[in-house]
């Protein structure tokens, strides 16, 4: 089981030169007030001498982990870690607490910051909850299921087989579709080379015309049911899933135009072109057929459509006598060599027409088509006759595609992509840990980008599954069996789909869990706790942040704001702001949470009860949460809590929320300024006096040793 | 001694991703960064969120760059450039030249006294890192520092309480033996001054979109360089240094995405009136339709490439363009003009290709060679997410290459 280690605190004497200073003494007393701590004062910790002293003492007392009170700059600048590393201490052994400010003038001692004792108390409260968890070898399935039938899928299968993994390729078609001809010859050749002999490779199995029926379980331990062509189900155990299938395509037509003998898709045109005889016959044996290629007449097109049209135009002009016109709207040239390709189409003699505002009026007759449109450069209306018009295709998710998404428990974007862009899942992850979406399944980019995505996914799979028995922390998420009602709320809310069931009880898979704590906060029975991040630790830390409040006689201490900062966004942004000289207003106390989704309404009530004048929850922006929905849950809880406190006659405006990005150093400072402006309007928390009296009584009764100091 | 290490050139998002992936797989890594600080261009992007995220993917870089500094097994050489690389039977041997650290990373506490007193601080003689945890906490830029002009201005050296500053330090040279090399040297933003008619460097308040990003990131608001005022009306010109028949004959891919998102962000957060001059709107990635439709509603999108930019009264910028062919030209005035500069190949690419045996694409981007892998925007214009994927591919290829050796 987890063991508590002896706590130790080192105080850097860079900030300890004026040891008679009351602020400094208070810092020391705060450290000593903790039960049985070791407190050491050491010379400047960011210099070799100080670091060596720390290393000596740490070794002497067998301390693998300790707190180090120093200045924020030394911590932010990495010089502490560096010096300690040189002195032979493990990376991350020291948890640095920012308690000193550097001197404003050279030669003077560092100053103890306004919130030093608070920061010390908070760090001790966090440290008290910290537990080292045993590492356990976890057996995972090493095989991988790949869904798809094109270039990206073939590349994934080959790469996985090269890495010695068992692979099952599930293709919706009978053939292993080679790359679409519109991608270019290079892609077709690459696909053909990959497909050759794939089936005979040891460890590779291909199920043609198969479908995925269900996928249960969690990363490293998925149970997939797949149907083969004869609808015979099979149960497989796989460690990961790669989806590399393109969404279904539909012709990109403007309203009023339909596919027919004269209007075809580019893919159809490529099929016709593959047989010169068919091509001639389809165009009524005309010696110089007039061919129109249109990209983007309906929806916004993609570079894939433009590449296909350009290559078709060049092929037609080289091999037939066709007169080619290329119609574009927004010409999507954002792919390698596409700009040059369009220029070549023009220089080889194709007519290029760009529709900026209106689309052409198309009349389809049996013998051909007539297009009427406004020509921008000529400035007049033009009529053009064609024998055939080929239009590009765009993704059109159908029922089957949506069913596949549902089976995988993923969502579909408006453009058919299987995993809409989201900061926590880019470039190849999905919201379901262990399931990867690559290539055409998620992007309309070029196939060079698909190849990169496949590579990144293979790397992620190696990291996830390793040699088959990754060593993982066990017991980070604890489900209390006496409380759990097996309502499975945790399974539903887990943003990484890391919650599975073991022995019919919820069980968090450490391979997939990021420790965001959403399950713990949403559990209606309060049955889940995250070790080291449990609710009691936050209540203790918030009390610690509120506790040391100036002198005995100050019955109206200064205003205080509690900031609950998301570790993925606001906390790094605050650190960056600090680095560029930003200082949070005095009275700002920051408690770092793993995700806004961890914030329980009880934390906020605790803070207000402890006399904080306001609470500001800093989360990620909507749709940018690293745990997908942590900020949404948090927002709902704040809203509910505001309602509850206003019913009780308390000002709900004291409960505030704002968003920041990890790069948002200006954003967080602005959010703090706005929160303080709000507090200035609201005045002092009416609960503050009561909290203050309770705090003083507490000091008298519990910490008798120190009362003389306070008096 | 060759311990099977991989040498990575470039400490931006691609180099960081490749380094962390390789170190995670147990391969020792030496990463060489020519700048004083890590992070590259990805660390200079601003958040463009409205109330919700616009999926610019800029903040994808933050955790990966932070991991670069905390992952064990990665040696980082800042201020360093590979001068010579030779390939033998036992892999590569690199001769790395390192500029001196005038501020000692071991001693500097980052107190910033030098920054307060520096007479050339406004010119950028002293810089802070882009990333939390990067070292040293301050660096001297010889291009702006007075000492490197007169040889006498040693104020910071004299007042540093830690005696961390020493102008007497000499450049060093390090030999690195490696089994494979990853080129993650990134791109160079198109030098906007080359298009004289667009007024950059001549007309006040013409900035590059990258400078606008930096303003938003560091100050949270756009500011006119001439007077520090918040501009009420801003224009963007797309394809500056992209899609040129002669020159950079390719689409830089990222500029439409960042300009439309920046424009929407300015409009939502600062009430700015935004015009975007463009040729074709490139909207790749996953939110084309949504972002484009919203931009069409909220911004003034003009399909026309302005041909002249002039200085107007009160620091205003006059943009001349033809709204439609055949119509007379129009002159419109803006408070600020942002040029959406494209991504061009790094200036060192020809030298790298020659010296390293890597290939060069027609446009001047890097191509892989034997034992040499290319990651990120060094190989073609890529956005942040694509650079991460590209670095993953390069790391995987390097791993396979090492296994096969």
What is chain B's pLDDT, residue by residue, as a tens digit (405 residues)? 578 999 999 999 999 999 999 999 999 999 999 999 999 999 999 999 999 999 998 899 999 999 998 898 999 999 999 999 998 888 999 999 999 999 998 788 777 889 989 999 999 999 999 998 888 889 999 999 999 999 999 999 999 988 899 999 999 999 999 999 999 999 999 999 999 999 999 999 999 999 999 999 999 999 999 999 999 999 999 999 999 988 899 999 999 999 999 999 999 999 999 999 999 998 766 556 788 889 999 999 999 999 999 999 999 999 999 987 778 899 999 999 999 999 999 999 998 888 877 789 999 999 999 999 999 999 999 999 999 999 999 999 999 999 998
Residue B59 DSSP label: G
Lowest mean pLDDT among A383-387, A417-421, A459-463, A477-481: A417-421
**Measured between alpha carbons, how far is A80 from A14 in angstroms, rounded to an integer?**
12
Chain centroid to CA A231: 37
- Say if the Cβ atoms of B280 and A581 lie within 8 Å: no
Q: What are the tokens at A120? A: 């010390």
Element (H, E) at A189: helix A185-195
Pair A97, A127: CB distance under 8 Å:
no
- Rounded to a whole number of angstroms, the distance from the CA of A673 to the nearest CA of chain B is 13
φ/ψ of residue B9, rounded to 5: -100, 115
Q: How far is CA A534 from CA A473, A518, A548, A600, in A?
A: 16, 12, 23, 11
Give pLDDT, residue A710.
36
The counts of H helices and E strands in chain A are 22, 34
B 339-398 near A (Cβ less than 8 A)? 380, 382, 385-386, 388-397
Nearest-Cα residue of chain B relative to residue A412: B286
* A253-A258-A260 Cα angle (round to 5): 125
Task: Give the neighbor-by-neighbor strand order of the sheet with B308-311.
Answer: B308-311, B317-321, B330-334
Q: Report the phi/psi class of residue A72: left, alpha or beta, with left for phi > 0 and alpha for psi in -120 to 50.
A: alpha
Task: Pick the closest to residue A41 from A14, A75, A72 (CA basis).
Answer: A14
- Say if the Cβ atoms of A105 and B57 lie within 8 Å: no
| Residue A124 confidence (pLDDT) above 60 | yes
Residue A130's contacts (CB-CB under 8 Å, 6 or more residues apart) are A65, A532
- Say if the Cβ atoms of B132 and A443 lie within 8 Å: no
- Say if the Cβ atoms of B132 and A82 lie within 8 Å: no
| Residue A709 confidence (pLDDT) above 60 | no
pLDDT in tens, A649-671: 999 999 999 999 999 999 999 99
| Residue A703 confidence (pLDDT) above 60 | no
Q: With beta carbons under 8 A apart, name residues in chain B contacting A592.
A: none
By the CB < 8 Å criterion, does B303 face chain A? yes
Element (H, E) at A385: strand A380-386
B 71-100 near A (Cβ less than 8 A)? 72
Q: Report the phi/psi class of residue A256: left, alpha or beta, with left for phi > 0 and alpha for psi in -120 to 50.
A: left
- Say if the Cβ atoms of A106 and B280 lie within 8 Å: no
- Say if the Cβ atoms of A343 and B160 lie within 8 Å: no
Task: Pick the closest to residue A474 from A27, A131, A112 (CA basis).
Answer: A131
| Residue A708 confidence (pLDDT) above 50 | no
More confident residue, B216 or A447: B216
- Say if the Cβ atoms of A77 and B53 lie within 8 Å: no
Provide the pLDDT confidence category of residue A104 given band limits of 50, 70 and 90. low
Strands A221-227 and A233-238 come out as: antiparallel
- Rounded to a whole number of angstroms, the distance from the CA of B178 to the nearest CA of chain A is 21
Of B24, B218, B280, the CB nearest to A330: B280
**Measured between alpha carbons, how far is B253 from B57 in angstroms, rounded to an integer?**
14
Q: What are the tokens at B247? A: 């020159």
Give pLDDT, residue B356.
77
Bridge partners for A615 per DSSP: A562, A655
Q: How far is CA A687 from CA A557, A606, B359, in A?
A: 12, 11, 70
Provide the pLDDT confidence category of residue A89 given band limits of 50, 70 and 90. confident
pLDDT in tens, A220-251: 999 999 999 999 999 999 999 999 999 999 99
By the CB < 8 Å criterion, does B69 face chain A? yes
Lowest mean pLDDT among A138-142, A252-256, A398-402, A702-706: A702-706
Q: With beta carbons under 8 A apart, name residues in chain A contacting B253.
A: 334-335
Q: How far is CA A392 from CA A277, A328, A521, B53, in A?
A: 23, 10, 49, 31
Pair A635, B187: CB distance under 8 Å:
no
| Residue A79 confidence (pLDDT) above 80 | no
- Say if the Cβ atoms of B392 and A91 lie within 8 Å: no
Provide the pLDDT confidence category of residue A454 given band limits of 50, 70 and 90. very high
φ/ψ of residue A162, rounded to 5: -60, -35
B 163-202 near A (Cβ less than 8 A)? none
Pair A480, A534: CB distance under 8 Å:
no
Q: With beta carbons under 8 A apart, name residues in chain A contacting B398.
A: none
Give pLDDT, residue A711.
31
**Measured between alpha carbons, how far is A556 from B71 in angstroms, rounded to an integer?**
47
- Say if the Cβ atoms of B396 and A159 lie within 8 Å: yes
Most B CBs within 10 A among A330, A574, A672, hence the mutation to make, goes to A330
- Say if the Cβ atoms of A580 and B128 lie within 8 Å: yes
Nearest-Cα residue of chain A relative to residue B43: A663
Give pLDDT, residue B24.
92
By the CB < 8 Å criterion, does B109 face chain A? yes
- Say if the Cβ atoms of B243 and A339 lie within 8 Å: yes
**Measured between alpha carbons, how far is B13 from B187 in angstroms, rounded to an integer?**
12
Q: Is the full-model pTM beyond 0.90? A: yes
- Say if the Cβ atoms of A82 and B281 lie within 8 Å: no
Instruction: Report chain A's mean pLDDT, rounded to a whole number.
Output: 87
- Say if the Cβ atoms of B282 and A332 lie within 8 Å: yes
Pair B366, A404: CB distance under 8 Å:
no
- Rounded to a whole number of angstroms, the distance from the CA of A346 to the nearest CA of chain B is 13
């Amino acid at each position: 089981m987890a063991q508590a280690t002896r706590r130790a605190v080192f105080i850097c004497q860079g900030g300890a030169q004026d040891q008679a200073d009351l602020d400094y003494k208070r810092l020391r007393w705060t450290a000593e007030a903790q039960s049985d701590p070791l407190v050491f004062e050491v010379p400047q910790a960011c210099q070799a001498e100080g670091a060596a002293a720390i290393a000596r003492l740490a070794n002497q007392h067998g301390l693998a982990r300790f707190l180090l009170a120093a200045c924020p700059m030394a911590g932010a600048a990495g010089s502490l870690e560096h010096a300690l590393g040189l002195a032979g201490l493990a990376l991350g052994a020291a948890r640095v607490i920012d308690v000193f400010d550097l001197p404003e003038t050279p030669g003077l001692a560092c100053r103890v910051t306004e919130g030093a004792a608070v920061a010390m108390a908070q760090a001790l409260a966090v440290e008290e909850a910290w537990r080292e968890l045993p590492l356990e070898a976890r057996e995972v399935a090493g095989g991988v299921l790949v869904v798809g039938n094109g270039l990206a899928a073939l590349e994934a299968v080959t790469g996985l087989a090269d890495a010695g993994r068992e692979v099952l390729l599930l293709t919706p078609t009978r053939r292993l579709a080679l790359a679409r001809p519109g991608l270019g010859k290079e892609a077709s050749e690459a696909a053909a080379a990959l497909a050759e002999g794939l089936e005979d490779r040891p460890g590779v199995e291909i199920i043609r015309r198969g479908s995925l029926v269900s996928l249960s379980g969690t990363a490293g331990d998925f149970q997939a049911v797949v149907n083969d062509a004869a609808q015979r189900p099979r149960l497989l155990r796989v460690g990961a899933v790669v989806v590399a299938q393109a969404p279904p395509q539909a012709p990109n037509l403007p309203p009023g135009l339909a596919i027919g003998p004269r209007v075809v898709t580019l893919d159809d045109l490529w099929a016709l072109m593959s047989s010169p005889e068919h091509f001639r016959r389809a165009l009524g044996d005309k010696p110089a057929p007039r061919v129109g290629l249109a990209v983007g007449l309906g929806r916004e097109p993609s570079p894939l459509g433009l590449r296909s049209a350009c290559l078709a135009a060049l092929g037609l002009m080289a091999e037939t006598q066709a007169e080619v016109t290329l119609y574009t709207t927004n010409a999507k040239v954002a792919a390698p060599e596409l700009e040059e390709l369009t220029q070549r189409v023009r220089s080889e003699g194709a007519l290029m027409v760009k529709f900026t505002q209106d689309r052409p009026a198309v009349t389809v007759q049996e013998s051909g088509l007539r297009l009427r449109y406004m020509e921008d450069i000529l400035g007049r209306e033009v009529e053009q006759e064609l024998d055939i018009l080929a239009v590009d295709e765009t993704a059109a998710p159908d029922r089957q595609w949506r069913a596949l998404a549902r089976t995988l428990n993923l969502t579909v974007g408006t453009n058919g992509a299987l995993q809409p862009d989201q900061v926590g899942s880019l470039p190849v992850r999905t919201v379901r840990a262990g399931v990867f979406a690559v290539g055409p399944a998620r992007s309309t980019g070029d196939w060079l980008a698909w190849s990169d995505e496949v590579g990144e996914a293979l790397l992620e799979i190696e990291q996830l599954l390793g040699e088959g028995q990754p060593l993982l922390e066990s017991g980070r998420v604890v489900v209390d069996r006496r409380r759990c009602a097996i309502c499975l709320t945790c399974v539903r809310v887990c943003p990484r789909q890391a919650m599975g069931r073991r022995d019919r009880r919820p069980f968090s898979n450490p391979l997939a869990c990021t420790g965001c704590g959403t399950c713990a906060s949403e559990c209606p029975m309060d049955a889940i706790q995250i070790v080291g991040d449990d609710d009691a630790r936050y209540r203790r830390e918030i009390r610690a942040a509120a506790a040391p409040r100036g002198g005995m006689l100050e019955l109206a201490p200064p205003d205080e704001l509690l900031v609950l900062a998301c570790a993925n966004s606001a906390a790094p942004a605050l650190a960056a702001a600090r680095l560029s000289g930003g200082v949070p207003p005095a009275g700002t106390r920051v408690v770092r949470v793993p995700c806004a989704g961890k914030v329980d309404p009880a934390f906020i009530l605790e803070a207000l009860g402890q006399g904080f004048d306001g609470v500001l929850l800093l989360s990620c922006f909507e749709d940018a949460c690293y745990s997908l929905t942590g900020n949404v849950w948090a927002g709902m809880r704040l809203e509910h809590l505001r309602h509850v406190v206003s019913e009780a006659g308390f000002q709900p405006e004291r409960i505030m929320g704002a968003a920041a990005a990890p790069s948002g150093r200006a954003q967080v400072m602005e959010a703090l300024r706005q929160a303080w402006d709000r507090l200035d309007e609201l005045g002092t928390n009416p609960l503050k006096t009561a909290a203050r009296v309770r705090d003083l009584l507490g000091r008298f009764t519990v910490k008798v040793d120190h009362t003389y100091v306070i008096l | 001694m060759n311990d099977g290490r991989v040498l990575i050139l470039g400490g931006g998002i691609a180099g960081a991703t490749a380094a962390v992936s390789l170190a995670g797989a147990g391969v020792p890594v030496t990463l060489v960064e020519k700048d004083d600080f890590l992070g590259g261009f990805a660390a200079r992007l601003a958040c463009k969120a409205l109330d919700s995220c616009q999926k610019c993917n800029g903040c994808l870089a933050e955790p990966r760059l932070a991991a670069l500094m905390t992952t064990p097994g990665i040696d980082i050489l800042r201020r360093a450039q590979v001068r010579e690389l030779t390939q033998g039977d036992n892999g590569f041997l690199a001769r790395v030249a390192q500029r001196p650290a005038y501020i000692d990373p071991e001693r500097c506490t980052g107190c910033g006294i030098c920054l307060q007193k520096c007479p050339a601080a406004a010119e950028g003689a002293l810089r802070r890192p882009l990333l939390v945890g990067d070292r040293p906490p301050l660096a001297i830029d010889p291009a702006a520092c007075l000492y490197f002009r007169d040889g006498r201005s040693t104020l910071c050296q004299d007042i540093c309480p830690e005696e961390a500053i020493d102008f007497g330090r000499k450049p060093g040279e390090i030999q690195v033996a490696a089994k494979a090399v990853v080129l993650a040297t990134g791109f160079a933003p198109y030098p906007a001054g080359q298009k004289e008619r667009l007024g950059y460097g001549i007309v006040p308040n013409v900035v590059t979109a990258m400078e606008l990003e930096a303003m938003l990131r560091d100050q949270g608001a756009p500011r006119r360089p001439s007077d520090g005022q918040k501009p009420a009306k801003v224009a963007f010109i797309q394809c500056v240094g992209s899609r040129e028949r002669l020159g950079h004959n390719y689409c830089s891919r990222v500029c439409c995405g960042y300009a439309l998102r920046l424009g929407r962000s300015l409009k939502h957060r600062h009430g700015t009136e935004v015009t975007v001059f463009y040729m074709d709107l490139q909207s790749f990635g996953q939110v084309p339709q949504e972002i484009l439709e919203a931009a069409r509603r909220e911004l003034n999108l003009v399909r026309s490439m302005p041909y002249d930019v002039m200085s107007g009264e009160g620091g205003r910028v006059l943009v001349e363009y033809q709204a439609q062919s055949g119509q007379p030209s129009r002159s419109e005035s803006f408070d600020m003009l942002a040029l959406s500069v494209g991504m061009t190949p790094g200036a060192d690419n020809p030298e790298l290709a020659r010296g390293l045996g890597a290939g060069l694409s027609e446009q001047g981007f890097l191509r892989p060679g034997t034992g040499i892998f290319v990651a990120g925007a060094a190989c073609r214009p890529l956005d942040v997410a694509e650079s991460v994927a590209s670095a993953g591919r390069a790391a995987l290829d390097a791993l396979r290459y090492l296994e096969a050796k």
